[in-house]
């Protein structure tokens, strides 16, 4: 029954199902093994591309009958006699281009799907163009899909990738923002959140912190939801969406938090696999881009310099290793890769051994009885071959990614930073002075040092004295850092002090120091010499603690949304928190996803003004 | 949940129409409209490729419907048991097989033709990609329908072989062993290929049955059999049952193995065919590479020659210059 299935569907599945239905001409998709092939062309804009790419691979698109997928604003040739499915945002330029397509009669029939709701006037523009081109019967269906958000994981979503400048932390917090601009930003965020809840099929209970951008978002979202519910006839939340969702018994709890309650976490150096990949490598929309230098041989004189290969890998839900280890600390990941490699080699050897046994065929009597066993073995070996190949590919992928991450760690001594920051954030005593680390020339890039200092500054109860500050500033500038972010943080801190007590980051009870040990992990291929084998303490970040307070004893599913930007560290923290409490569901969302580098850039832009 | 605003769209179309009428703008744009009509009627390569592809697909669909329709009758094992309808003679089955095969052959040829044609016609990159994808889909569809057909056929072949084996085991004297044996065997689909083993065992059994018949023939005269003889016969019966059972087990095992082997064969042939295509392309590449290297060598030789020639000219020029200098010097003195 569809109802029962939807009850446990994650947000990713829901969005995928919605997309597949759209691609099937808005008729629910049924797998039919001897069905006739139907072919179509998919046209999307950049927003649509960002939404589709983490969810459906090119092969899956092919399976749905899509022969070509093209960008809206590229040169497209007329392909007669083929239906075209459009998946675009209803902006002016997109509408213009679609009208142009209608005039040029590029395709046979048009199925228009708008990512978020289209306004009446724009609809009339299209009608106008269709009339002018005499193409009205060709426009077969027009739909509002309400899919204006990007789902990255089963329980994590992001609002946008293309126009993230518009809703970035900087855009919301800059001092010179006008009211109208703020309105536009809020509208964009609310529109996406609204689409999210329509897809989820539930009306949330909204909680937010007062006096922040989050409150503005909450008020607007509330208004929009009420308007929609009031119009009972056309409400998006009635019918079989309500009552068939995961949240059929309880309304989910939407917790809106503003980035400003916790500025240290985005700057934090991290130690879990997914967060590290995001921090250190080029990782968006579940795709990581690696630059590999192809070999260290000396190039003969006069030859062209060796080009670095660029490789990109997709880290998808099908990748079992990734799903299992994305939250594990890095040394564990290294070990697991080794283990996987070992088991793969063992299986490979077994298959190879069969080859030699086969060679004995017909030589002696004993071979006949061996043969009967071996046919079974051979069958199982052959049928397991595709699996084995897939496993090898994943192992290669993760070996490359983990090696790249490890190189960065070694070069920048990220383990040292991580340990130190953990200590700062949990207010345990520091064994090394901050100044030492900052003036250490080969520990980390200037940016790492800046991050460390900012975290120190943010989490210190009282601001360091002027003299100390000057000393630090001098050390930082010597190391080559730009001091603009510091300006901004000072302002922020002053403001935050006025507003409320600064959030504390962890328990003040001292955990035994034995957890951090300098064990060198020599057994693995990933020679982590000098890299400490750090063990993560379970420690709740401010966002997690807010959620904890709000959720109390009820087991409503909860959605945490950070206005102003989020990152994988918080996501991982929430996942870890929820692991200890079975029966609760949490979804994590943010208006944009940035890593520490990008955040520092935004802070320095803010500090310049 | 997606909202269908097609009706809203149609309403907007009407609104725009009425608005245009009110404003006096001709609906459909008078001259422009006519031009558009003409433009459309001008022969776009509309129907050719895709209508043919659609034809092929509808053919394959017909084949699929045909196969599915007659499937039940086709694989009805007990068609020798009288039933009112749904009986299918072997001749009919053969006919279906023949027809299906010719049909499939024509379809795949049609697809191949379409592919060649699409290659020849130079259209834009996008159209070409689209067409090759469409042909891939069609071929996939054909493969799926063929699978239906081959499954049916495999079942039928198994039953035929099975019947043959039964008919071989018929002349055995051990009547009691025949019934359980044949029932079991007819229930499991037995594949071809275990004939040699089955045959030799089958031969052994009739050979053993002979002396029995002989002894029965001899003992026919006596009406009563002495208790020892009864016991002996009992023992022999037991022995025969045991032998039959072990035979039967072995045969079953071997059947299983052979089924697996045939499946493996299928997989291997598939892989080998795939590799054939790849090897062909590698061959092409290698041939291309050797051509390129040959040309490269030629070019290098040319370059060397030119270099040498160039040097000769330079030397010549220098010698001429020095002679002319000498001449001028002599002339001047």
The radius of gyration computed from the CA coordinates of chain B, to the nearest angstrom, equals 41
pTM tops 0.95, yes or no: no
> How sure is the predictor about A32, in pLDDT bands with cuts at 50, 70 and 90?
low
Given a cut of 60, whether residue B212 has pLDDT beyond it is no
- How far B28 CA sits from the closest chain A CA (Å)? 5
Tens digits of residue pLDDT in A82-114: 899 999 999 999 999 999 988 888 888 999 999
pLDDT higher for A54 or B43? Answer: A54
pLDDT higher for A28 or A204? Answer: A204
Residues in CB range of B62: below 8 A, 6 or more apart = none
- CB crowding B233-251: b at 16 or more within 10 Å, else e: eeeeeeebeebbeebbeeb
CB A603 within 8 A of CB A485: yes
Count interface pairs A-B at CB distance under 8 A. 143
| Interface predicted TM-score of the whole assembly (ipTM), two decimals | 0.75
Residue A593 is given by DSSP the state: B
pLDDT higher for B318 or A201? Answer: B318
| Inter-chain residue contact B134 with A67, CB threshold 8 Å | yes
Task: Using CB atoms, pick whichever of A37, A144, A239 lies closest to residue B138.
Answer: A37
Q: Which of A71, A79, A122, A234 to mutate to test the interface with B (most CBs of B within 10 A)?
A: A79
**Angle at which helices A446-459 and A596-608 cross, to 10°:** 70
Tokens representing B62?
A: 């017909």
Tens digits of residue pLDDT in A446-492: 888 888 888 888 887 777 788 888 888 888 888 777 888 888 888 88
Residue A517: the pLDDT is 30
Q: Which residues of B touch A26 (CB under 8 A)?
A: 2, 4
Tens digits of residue pLDDT in A328-356: 888 888 899 999 999 999 988 887 787 77
| Inter-chain residue contact A133 with B40, CB threshold 8 Å | no
Rounded distance, CA B78 to CA B86, Å? 11
Residue A326: the pLDDT is 86
CB A44 within 8 A of CB A84: no
Least confident stretch, A278-292, A305-319, B165-179: B165-179
Residue A336 is given by DSSP the state: H
Tokens representing A103?
A: 């005039």
Total number of residues shown for chain B? 333
Given a cut of 50, whether residue B30 has pLDDT beyond it is no
The whole-number average pLDDT for the span B130-153 is: 85
Q: For strand A282-284 and strand A287-292, is the pairing parallel, antiparallel, or unpaired? A: antiparallel
Residue A514: the pLDDT is 29
Residue A34: the pLDDT is 64
Least confident stretch, A83-97, A230-244, A523-537: A523-537
Task: Using CB atoms, pick whichever of A18, A136, A141 lies closest to residue B4.
Answer: A141
> How sure is the predictor about A426, in pLDDT bands with cuts at 50, 70 and 90?
confident
Q: Which of B9, B35, B148 to mutate to test the interface with A (most CBs of A within 10 A)?
A: B9
Q: Which of A129, A142, A243, A378 to mutate to test the interface with B (most CBs of B within 10 A)?
A: A142
Least confident stretch, A135-149, A218-232, A308-322, A417-431: A417-431
Residue A234: the pLDDT is 66
Q: Which residues on adjacent β-strands are paired with residue A156?
A: A153, A588
| Inter-chain residue contact A382 with B267, CB threshold 8 Å | yes
Residue B47: the pLDDT is 58
Tokens representing A261?
A: 């309650």
Tens digits of residue pLDDT in A165-174: 888 888 888 8
Report the share of chain B in percent with pLDDT over 70: 71
The whole-number average pLDDT for the span B22-46 is: 51
Q: Which residues of B touch A33 (CB under 8 A)?
A: 144
CB A91 within 8 A of CB A118: no
Q: Determine the residue of chain B that is closest to A373 in CA distance.
A: B257
Helical segments of A440-567, H only: 446-459, 466-479, 484-499, 542-551
pLDDT higher for A572 or B286? Answer: B286
Residue B202: the pLDDT is 42
Residues in CB range of B209: below 8 A, 6 or more apart = B171, B172, B173, B174
- The helix/strand/coil state of A177 is coil
| Inter-chain residue contact A76 with B57, CB threshold 8 Å | no
């Amino acid at each position: 029954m569809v109802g029962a299935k939807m009850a446990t569907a994650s947000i990713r599945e829901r969005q995928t199902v919605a997309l597949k239905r759209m691609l099937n001409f808005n008729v629910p998709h049924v797998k039919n093994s001897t069905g006739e092939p139907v072919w179509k062309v998919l046209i999307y804009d950049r927003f649509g591309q960002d939404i589709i790419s983490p969810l459906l691979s090119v092969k899956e698109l092919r399976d749905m009958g899509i022969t070509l997928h093209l960008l809206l604003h590229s040169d497209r040739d007329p392909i007669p006699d083929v239906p075209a499915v459009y998946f675009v945002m209803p902006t002016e330029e997109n509408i213009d281009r679609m009208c142009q397509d209608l005039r040029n009669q590029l395709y046979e029939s048009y199925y228009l799907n708008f990512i978020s709701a289209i306004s009446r006037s724009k609809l009339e523009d299209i009608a106008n163009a269709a009339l002018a081109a005499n193409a009205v019967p060709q426009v077969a269906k027009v739909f509002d899909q309400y899919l204006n958000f990007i789902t990255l994981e089963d329980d994590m979503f992001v609002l946008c990738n293309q126009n993230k400048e518009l809703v970035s932390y900087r855009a919301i917090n800059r001092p010179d923002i006008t009211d109208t601009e703020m309105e536009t930003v809020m509208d964009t965020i609310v529109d996406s959140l609204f689409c999210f809840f329509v897809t989820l099929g539930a009306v949330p209970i909204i909680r937010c912190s007062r006096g922040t951008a989050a409150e503005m978002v909450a008020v607007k979202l509330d208004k929009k939801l009420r308007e929609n519910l009031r119009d009972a006839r056309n409400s998006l939340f009635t019918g079989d969406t309500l009552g068939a969702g995961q949240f059929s018994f309880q309304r989910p709890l939407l917790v809106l938090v503003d980035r400003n309650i916790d500025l240290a976490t985005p700057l934090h150096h991290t130690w879990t696999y997914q967060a590290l990949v995001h921090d250190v490598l080029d990782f968006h929309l579940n795709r990581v881009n690696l630059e590999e230098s192809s070999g260290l041989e000396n190039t003969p004189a006069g030859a062209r310099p060796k080009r670095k290969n660029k490789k990109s890998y997709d880290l998808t839900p099908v990748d079992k290793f990734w799903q299992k280890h994305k939250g594990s600390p890095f040394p564990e990941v290294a070990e697991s890769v080794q283990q996987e490699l070992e088991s793969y080699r063992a299986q490979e050897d077994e298959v190879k051994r069969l080859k030699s046994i086969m060679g004995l065929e017909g030589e002696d009597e004993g071979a006949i009885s061996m043969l009967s066993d071996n046919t079974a073995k051979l069958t199982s070996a052959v049928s397991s071959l595709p699996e084995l190949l897939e496993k090898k590919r994943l192992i290669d992928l993760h070996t490359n990614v983990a090696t790249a991450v490890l190189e960065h760690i070694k070069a920048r001594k990220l383990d040292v930073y991580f340990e130190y920051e953990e200590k700062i954030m949990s207010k345990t005593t520091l064994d090394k002075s901050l100044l030492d680390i900052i003036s250490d020339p080969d520990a980390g890039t200037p940016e790492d040092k800046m991050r460390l200092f900012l975290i120190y500054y943010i989490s210190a109860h009282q601001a360091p004295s002027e003299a100390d500050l000057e000393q630090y500033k001098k050390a930082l500038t010597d190391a080559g850092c730009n001091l603009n972010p510091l300006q901004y943080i000072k302002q922020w801190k002053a403001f935050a002090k006025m507003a409320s007590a600064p959030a504390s980051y962890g328990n003040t009870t001292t955990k035994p120091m034995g957890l951090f040990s300098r064990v060198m992990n020599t057994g693995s291929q990933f020679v982590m010499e000098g890299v400490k084998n750090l063990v993560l303490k379970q420690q709740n970040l401010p966002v997690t603690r807010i959620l904890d307070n709000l959720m109390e004893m009820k087991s409503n599913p909860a959605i945490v949304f950070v206005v102003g930007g989020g990152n994988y560290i918080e996501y991982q923290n929430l996942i870890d928190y929820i692991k200890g409490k079975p029966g609760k569901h949490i979804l994590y969302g943010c208006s944009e996803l940035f890593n520490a580098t990008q955040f520092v850039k935004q802070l320095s832009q803010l500090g310049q003004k | 949940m997606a909202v269908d605003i097609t009706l809203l769209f149609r309403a907007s179309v009407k609104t725009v129409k009425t608005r245009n009428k009110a404003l006096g703008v001709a609906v459909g744009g008078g001259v422009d409209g006519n031009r558009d009509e003409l433009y459309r009627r001008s022969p776009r390569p509309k129907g050719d490729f895709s209508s043919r592809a659609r034809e092929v697909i509808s053919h394959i669909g017909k084949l699929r419907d045909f196969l599915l329709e007659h499937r039940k009758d086709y694989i009805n094992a007990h068609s020798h048991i009288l039933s009112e309808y749904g009986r299918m003679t072997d001749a009919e089955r053969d006919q279906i097989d023949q027809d299906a095969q010719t049909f499939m052959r024509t379809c795949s040829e049609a697809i191949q033709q379409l592919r060649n044609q699409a290659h020849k016609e130079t259209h834009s990159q996008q159209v070409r990609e689209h067409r090759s994808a469409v042909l891939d889909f069609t071929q996939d569809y054909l493969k799926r329908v063929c699978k239906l057909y081959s499954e049916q056929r495999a079942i039928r072949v198994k039953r035929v072989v099975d019947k043959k084996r039964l008919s071989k085991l018929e002349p055995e004297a051990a009547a009691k062993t025949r019934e359980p044996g044949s029932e079991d065997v007819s229930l499991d689909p037995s594949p071809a290929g275990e004939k040699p083993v089955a045959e030799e065992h089958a031969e052994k059994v009739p050979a053993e049955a002979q002396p029995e018949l002989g002894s029965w023939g001899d003992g026919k005269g006596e009406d009563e059999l002495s208790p020892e003889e009864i016991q002996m016969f009992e023992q022999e019966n037991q022995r025969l049952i045991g032998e039959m059972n072990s035979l039967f087990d072995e045969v079953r095992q071997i059947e299983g193995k052979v089924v697996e082997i045939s499946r493996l064969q299928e997989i291997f042939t598939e892989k080998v065919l795939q590799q054939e295509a790849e090897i062909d392309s590698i061959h092409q590449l290698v041939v291309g590479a050797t051509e390129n290297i040959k040309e490269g060598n030629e070019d290098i030789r040319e370059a060397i020659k030119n270099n040498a020639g160039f040097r000769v000219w330079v030397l010549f020029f220098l010698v001429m210059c020095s002679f002319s200098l000498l001449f001028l010097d002599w002339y001047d003195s």
